Structure 1
Amino acid sequence: MTKAFKVLITVLTLCLIVAGCGGGGGNSTGAEGGSGSGDRAETITLSIWHNYSGDDLRAQTMRRLIDEFQQEHPEVKVDSQPIPTDAYRQRIQTVAAAKEMPDLFLTYAGSFTDEFQKAGLIQPVTSVLEEHKDWADGFLPGATDIYNYDGEVYSAPVAMSATSFLFYNKELFEQNGVKVPTTWEELLAAIEKFKAAGITPIALGNQAPWVAQSTLFGVMADRVTGSDWFMNAKDGNGASFADPQFLQSLTYFKQLVDVGAFPEGANSLDNTQAEQQFIQGNAAMIMNGAWSISNWAAAASEEQINKVGITVFPTMPNGLGEANTITGGPGGGFVLNANLEGEKLELAKQLFYKLSSAEAQKAIAESNSMVMYNVEIDESKVTPLFYEAFNLVKTLQFSPVYDLYLSAAGGEAVNNGLQEMMLGGDPAAVAEKLQTTQAAATGK
């Protein structure tokens, strides 16, 4: 190596050291380039957490939109963290406790968002809605109401939460001479026939304990108690989870357990396994949300999907609730970290809009996923099952999903209580625990 070459290497090394020391910023922003020449743009890092980690079409669509934003904004480094659904809530709540939130993250409507807003961890997106009024006017009535706090909107849903469709295998019903149930008595009769034929009546994977509550128990209980009773009970407003009608709801759920409606070891199966058990023809029915349609569109054969029928949960004896309902309403949406400001905030708003815009809503719908947005979908781009569900849901009313409205502790109490009942637990003990927990959380 020549002396001149050694000198050149030394000079270059010193330049790199000086440039490195001169780079600046906090955790999310770093300067790329020289020390103040102004001819190189600063790179801003935006972190975004979401649960679009799977291979279903909706997850693929959302990740594609994030990638498109990255390509459209080379000055931004998008740090996208896809986290599996069953672990997502806990991960977000953990960083929230430490006040180390990502810049944008997917939230769920109801108490989940309430807690972030009350803690001052998120900020409004009202200005985005005002800036894009044509887009804002396209949401279905009430779509953003649940994200409205004192006149400020904190998110816009990118999904419709429809959590309790009754899917059934048309071929198995026909082969076994079973009527699609419209009443509780007909459901019990169907379960008995399928059990006798050696077929699992209702697939269920309740390893993550929200599943039984969100997809089955919530709508069953609403058929018994009515939605107004639940909204009063959660607030301690003249109703209680110790009331007889709620205990009756739990008793009906325990009856399903006792007659063998679910697969053995359902608490050890996850929801994906239950979906597969059903779509492969190894279970006659499954109560599940609209996400199953997207999952099957990505992974199931056309022959398998064509065997699937869709309806709503049956009526219950002497029920006070409406029959033509499904649990759900506005689904998840993205929220912004309260600490964002300046150029980084403006870029985060642009990413928020990219993922929530009319174009995004249409793309999500055409990935076989429900949205709370007035879209015209191309029937050729979705499965017949989705198109049927899309039109069915337009005829239904929504009833509340329990853990979206209960406190976090109350939601955990009912979810864990249902798991316990599947292992022989006592409905009265579950009702008492839920009432005590929810009352403590609300101070009533």
Structure 2
Amino acid sequence: MMKTKKLKLSLVVMLVLSLLLAACSGDKTTGDNAKGKGDKIKLSIWHNYAGDDLRAKAVRKQIDQFEKEHPEVELDKQAIPVDGYRQRLKTVAAANEMPDVFYSYSGSFTEEFYKGNLIQPVSDLWEKKPDWAEKFLPGSKEIFTYDNEVYSAPVGMSATSFLYYNRDLFEKYNVKVPTTWDELMEAIKVFNKNKITPIALGNKATWPAQSSVFGVIADHVTGTEWFMKAIKSDGATFNDPQFIEALNYFKDLVDAKAFQEGANSIDNTQAEQYFVKGNAAMMINGSWAITNLAASSNKEELDKIEVTVVPSIEGGKGKPNTMTGGPGGGFLMSSKVKDKKRELALELMYAISGPEAQKAIAESESLVMYDVDIDESKVSSLYNKAYELVKTVNFAPVYDLYLSSAGGEAINQGLQELMLGGKPKEVAKKLQDAQSKAVK
């Protein structure tokens, strides 16, 4: 009887020990090469291509294709809407919990991740694939380069200030397409008189007024050289008279009722639809509007849309025929990714920015910083018009790509304040205080 009890006790002890060992040797999610189900390597990717537009679908398709071709990877894909994307990244950055691969806007947004040691260079990807690297347009690599190391590759062109206009409405009311500021103000007057909104704007997310409208106006007034000094508080500040003047030009648009009522309470997509349906004569918007409109509008609606640049300002320091933009965002890699996981992360980044991806993005009605042959039958007349235009323009910096995060937020909020009756000098002071503090 005693032997039987001892045997049962031994079996129980062995069972407990085996369960403990099994628990200790189960799935491990820590370390560089985190494993998932079936010993797959876990890899996460975040991006803001969450919409139903052609560009978003093209990028997601490349990610899905990578997943199919790599059964050894357990891919955690998060598509986050544009309006909340920046804040989500800032939140995880503060906790040093970055995704393995993630989309980032070029300029100061990426630079802050670099300064925080949150990302790592991918120069070896450029070196291993020279045939791919040499087809990027000038300036593509430089905007992602820090201390001679490249951290990304652009997956699009960021042209943020096209002046879209409805040809039929201009002809109907006999309005000249504006090439000077005075002609723009006259066009606004005529359309208001005929109960047509002059310029569609959806500024609910706060960035459209700055990125698409104000930035190009400011460059027309101050010139690019002044702005690059002001962001560093190096011989120029946002309290300077020329910047106050630029804010006053934006206020002139507000006072002239250039934008539809409630522009701060509708989003950018709503503004695009408001314009394409003929409710507004013009829209100052980025290249992203092309792919959005192509996905949601019919051929008749698209064919009547023309594109040009925002008129220059007499006496201003900026170059004529200028729009804001340059290389768009790209995908970065967390500094924590290493070994085999890093090799797979590089393959994923190449899948999204390689030749096939660039062609797919271009044919989704989205401009790219890449020399690619496009099947013109796959793109709209609006895309072709925009593509031909960008070949002829000068590019100026987009404000929120070069300002600090605090500075970008200050000007975004400040422009909303101006639209609600705020004062230019107060907006300028808030921007200067935020930017100088960040620089220090």
Matched, 1:29 2:26: no
Please state how far the C-alpha of 1:441 moved relative to its aligned partner.
1.1
* Distance change in 2, residues 1:233/1:31 (3 Å): closer
1:311 to 2:308 alignment: yes
SS at match of 1:78: strand
Q: 1:217 aligns with which of 211, 214, 217?
A: 214
For 1:182, the aligned partner's letter is T
- What is the one-letter code of the residue matched to 1:191? I
Which of 166, 170, 173 is equivalent to 2:167?
170
Hey, what's the Cα distance between the residues in 2 that align with 1:368 and 1:16? 57
Q: After the TM superposition, which residues 9-48 of structure 1 pair with which residues of structure 2 at under 5 Å, given as runs? A: 22-27=25-30, 29-30=34-35, 32-33=37-38, 42-48=39-45
After TM superposition, give the deviation of residue 308 of structure 1 in Å: 0.3
TM value normalised by structure 1: 0.93
- 1:50-109 Cα offsets, whole Å, 9 max, x none, are 000001000000110011001000111111100010100000010000001100000011
Contact 1:46 1:79 in 2 (8 A): yes
> Is 1:421 equivalent to 2:418 in the alignment?
yes
Deviates more, 1:16-25 or 1:265-274: 16-25
Counterpart for residue 397 of structure 1:
394
Task: Give the C-alpha shift of residue 221 in structure 1.
Answer: 0.6
Q: Deviations over 1:207-247 (max 9, x none)?
A: 11111000010001100110001001111111111111110
The equivalences for 1:70-149 within 5 A come to 70-149=67-146
How far does the alpha carbon of each residue in 1:379-431 deviate from its partner, in whole angstroms, 9 at most, with x for none?
A: 11111110111111011111000010011111111111000000000001111
Distance 1:407 1:357 in 2: 30
SS of the counterpart of 2:359? helix
Structure 1 distance, partners of 2:360, 2:19, is 45
Contact map agreement 1:23 1:31 (CA 8 A) in 2: no
Give the unaligned 5+ runs of structure 2. Answer: 1-16
Tell me, yes or no, if the aligned pair for 1:403 and 1:411 is still in contact at 8 Å.
yes
Please give the secondary structure, in 2, of the residue aligned with 1:284: strand
Q: For residue 5 of structure 1, what is the aligned residue in structure 2?
A: none
SS across alignment from 1:181: coil
Identity of matched residues, %: 59
- Which structure 1 segments of 5+ residues have no match? 1-13, 34-41
The TM-score, its normalising length taken from structure 2, stands at 0.94
**Contact 2:36–2:42 (CA<8 Å) still a contact in 1?**
no
Aligned pairs (5 A) from 1:41-440: 42-440=39-437
1:130-173: CA deviation from partner (whole Å, max 9, x where unpaired): 00011011111111101100010000100100000000001111
CA distance in 2, matches of 1:31, 1:381: 40
- Residues 246-292 of structure 1: per-residue CA shift (max 9 Å, x gap): 10000010011011001111110110110010011100000000000
Instruction: Output the CA distance in 2 between the equivalents of 1:15 and 1:176.
Output: 84
Offset of 1:20 from its aligned partner? 6.4
State the Cα distance separating 1:317 from its structure 2 match: 2.4
Task: Give me the CA root mean square deviation.
Answer: 1.5
